[in-house]
Every structure is written in C-alpha cells, then in structure tokens.
C-alpha cells in the first residue's frame, strides 16, 4: 500500500511536468484530479494497513460499538452515507470514529457487541469486528468526551 501512495504522488508530479514541458493544459487538469486521489490514498492507506496487520497479529478486547448512519444528498440528488461509531470499553465511551464504507455489507444503526483490535503503538482500535462484519476508521479517531454528571 505504501508503494501505491508514492506511485500516485509520482504520477501527479509526472503529469505536472508533462504539462510544463508540452504547454498543454490538459495535463494540469488531469494532475489536479490525480492530486485529489493521491490525497485520499495518503489519508486512508495507513488505516487499511493497520486494520489488516491488527487482524493478523493484534490484541483483541471485548467491547461494544454504537453505530450511527448519516445520510445526505449531493447537488445531483445522489444519496450518500457515512458510518460513525462510538467505541465502548467496559460500557464507557472511549473513541469516536468515522468508519470507512464496508465492503459487502451495510451496517445498521444501533449498539452491537464487538471485538476491538489493538496494535502496539496505536492508541485506538485499528479494527472493530462485529458479528456482521469488520469496520475500520477512515480518519484519525477522536477521544470520546466524558459526560458531566
């Protein structure tokens, strides 16, 4: 995955150089699109790598996850969904996560028992395994705020 990240950046740089040497603005337009893809790859691939490594060699802990599904429509009326979760350990909220869209299943909103997968050196769970499937963060999780009594 690391090679994909660097490859995308190098392809973007190559397109910019192509535009510079040829003077053709099409290269710049394609480079802008490639830059957006490169940025997305740069942000998500560490989480994918951590989840894959964690599922092989990580430490597992029983916990729970409260999943919420946020839906919105874009300008063309296409429906989009985002999956957010509150990860609980010993019935206390510990992490707020936005999950990557799972492949092959669609989480429903609700509370579920889960196995939380941890890696040494990573503070948050790198994967959340429910009975329905596997979830992993798509961005850096945030600590859940303790509720004031």
64 shares its domain with 77: yes
Q: Locate 72 and state its tokens.
A: 């919105």
Q: 80: domain CATH number?
A: 2.40.50
Kindly state the DSSP code that residue 101 receives in the 8-state scheme.
P
Average pLDDT over all residues of the chain: 87
The gap between the terminal CA atoms of the chain, to the nearest Å, is 45
Distance CA 35, CA 41 (A): 10
7 shares its domain with 72: no
Q: Locate 22 and state its tokens.
A: 């040829």
The pLDDT assigned to 64 comes to 92
65 shares its domain with 97: yes
pLDDT tens-digit series, residues 73-101: 888 888 888 899 999 988 788 899 999 88
41 shares its domain with 111: no
> Domain for residue 148, yes or no?
no
Listed as ranges, residues in the chain with pLDDT below 70 are 1-2, 146-149
> Domain for residue 23, yes or no?
yes
62 shares its domain with 102: yes
The pLDDT assigned to 1 comes to 57
The pLDDT assigned to 107 comes to 87
Distance CA 28, CA 101 (A): 30
CA distances from 31 to 12, 14, 52 (A): 5, 8, 30
> Domain for residue 149, yes or no?
no
Note down the domain range covering 102: 58-143
Count structural domains, the chain. Answer: 2
């Amino acid at each position: 995955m690391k090679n994909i990240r660097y490859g995308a950046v190098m392809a973007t740089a190559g397109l910019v150089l192509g535009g510079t040497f040829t003077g053709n603005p099409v290269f710049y337009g394609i480079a802008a699109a490639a830059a957006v893809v490169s940025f997305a790859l740069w942000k998500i691939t560490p989480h994918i790598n951590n989840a894959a490594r964690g599922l092989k060699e990580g430490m597992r802990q029983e916990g729970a996850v409260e999943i919420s599904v946020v839906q919105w429509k874009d300008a063309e009326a296409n429906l989009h969904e985002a999956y957010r979760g509150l990860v609980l350990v010993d019935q206390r909220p510990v992490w707020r996560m936005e999950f990557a869209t799972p492949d092959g299943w669609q989480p429903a909103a609700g509370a579920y028992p889960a196995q939380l997968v941890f890696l040494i050196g990573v503070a948050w769970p790198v994967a959340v395994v429910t009975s329905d499937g596997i979830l992993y963060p798509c961005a850096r999780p945030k600590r859940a705020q303790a509720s004031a009594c």
